[in-house]
Structure 1
Amino acid sequence: MIFKPQIWINSVLDIDEDFLDKYNIKALVLDLDNTLSMHGNPAAENGIPEWLDHMKNIGVPMRIVSNNTNKRVAPLAKKLGLPFTANGCKPLTFGISKAIKIMGVPKKQVAVVGDQIFTDVIAGNIKGAVSVLVEPFHMESAWTFKLKRKAESLFFHRDYSKLETKEKK
């Protein structure tokens, strides 16, 4: 199903060498807002810079693909030391396709990681990559986000007893 993530984890921080090996993932396409940083925050969430350094040290190609504007994405991507594509048009696959081509990894070995079903998961599934849904670092209070999360629940019920985490491995 196009709305269902292939993998559902608590946080991007749960992606480690065991995870990459288990799912044969060689590269990561990362959403920005609520995946690496709180929506609109000019800084990454705790642990993200160290996690990115570790992923870089083990040779994992990564690229941010965000639907947000260049004005929002560029400064944080620079701080994080990651290449990026702003205005990624997810759930369309233009930004994802560009990232995969640049990283030079077969799409079946690329994980598209993000917090939203209607953008990140659908784009990953349409492209034929591995879709990975993460929980947002913080629940947003704006009514638009609440409405989006409610709509998502019609397609994917988040049964937290089935959530894959490091502890369950």
Structure 2
Amino acid sequence: MLITPEYLFSSVSAITPAFLKEKGVDALVLDVDDTLTAHGSQQLDAEVEQWLGRMRAAGVKLMIVSNNTKKRVSPFAARLGLPFVSMACKPLTFGLAAARRRFGVPRARMAIVGDQLFTDRLAASFFGIPALVVSPRGGPARKDIQFKRRLEQPFLRRYYQKGGKLL
């Protein structure tokens, strides 16, 4: 299904190098807002920082691909030492295609990590890569995000009805 998650994780830190190896993934495209940090924040939780360290130590290639502006993404990516693509236009695949070229890997070796079904999951479906959907980080969402979260509920229910588990 285009929008129903393939994999649903409690947070980015629940994604392990062993899981990625099992799935043949060695390059991750990372969303920023509500995935790595709270929406609009430039702060990184210690848990996420440690997770990034584990991914790097395992040799996983990492790149931020965000729909947000360069002004928002650039300082965040620089602090993490990660390359980035801003204004990615997810669910369109321009940003994912740019990341794949920069990674130098085939699609079969990459996945996206994000919190939204109508952007991250749908972009992954269109591009033909797995989506590792995470529960959103941070505090209360903006009104537009709250609206999207309500629209996501039937797809999340379908995930669980099909036997999916929170990883």
Provide TM-score, normalisation by structure 1: 0.90
* Structure 1 residue 96: Cα displacement: 0.5
Matched, 1:64 2:64: yes
Moved more, 31-40 or 150-159: 150-159
The code of the aligned residue for 2:25 comes to I
Please name the residue that 2:8 is paired with.
8
**Residue 44 of structure 1 aligns to a residue in which SS?**
coil
Unaligned runs of 5+ in 2: none
Query: What is the aligned-residue RMSD (CA, Å)?
Result: 1.8
- For the residues of structure 1 that align with 2:58 and 2:134, how far apart are their CA atoms? 22
Aligned-partner Cα distance in 2 for 1:15–1:125:
19
Tell me the alpha carbon deviations over residues 52-74 of structure 1, each in whole angstroms, 9 at most, x when there is no partner: 12211221111000000011101
CA 1:7–1:141 in structure 2 vs 1: closer, same or farther (change >3 Å)? closer
Deviates more, 1:115-124 or 1:153-162: 153-162
* Change beyond 3 A, Cα 1:53–1:150: same
Q: Distance in 2 between matches of 1:152 and 1:45?
A: 26
2:77 aligned residue: 77
Q: Please name the residue that 1:150 is paired with.
A: 150
Partner Cα distance (1:141, 1:31) in 2: 16
AA aligned opposite 1:73? V
User: Matched residue pairs, number?
Assistant: 165
Residue 163 (structure 1) aligns with:
165
Question: Quick check: 1:91–1:118 contact (8 Å CA) kept in 2?
Answer: yes
SS at match of 1:28: strand
SS at match of 1:163: coil
Q: CA deviation at 1:137?
A: 1.6
For the Cα contact (< 8 Å) 1:113–1:120, is it kept in 2? yes
Structure 1 equivalent of residue 136 of structure 2: 136
Q: Displacement, 1:131?
A: 1.1
Identity of counterpart residues, as a percentage?
Answer: 39
Gaps of 5+ in 1: none
Residue correspondence of structure 1 range 47-126 to structure 2 within 5 A: 47-126=47-126
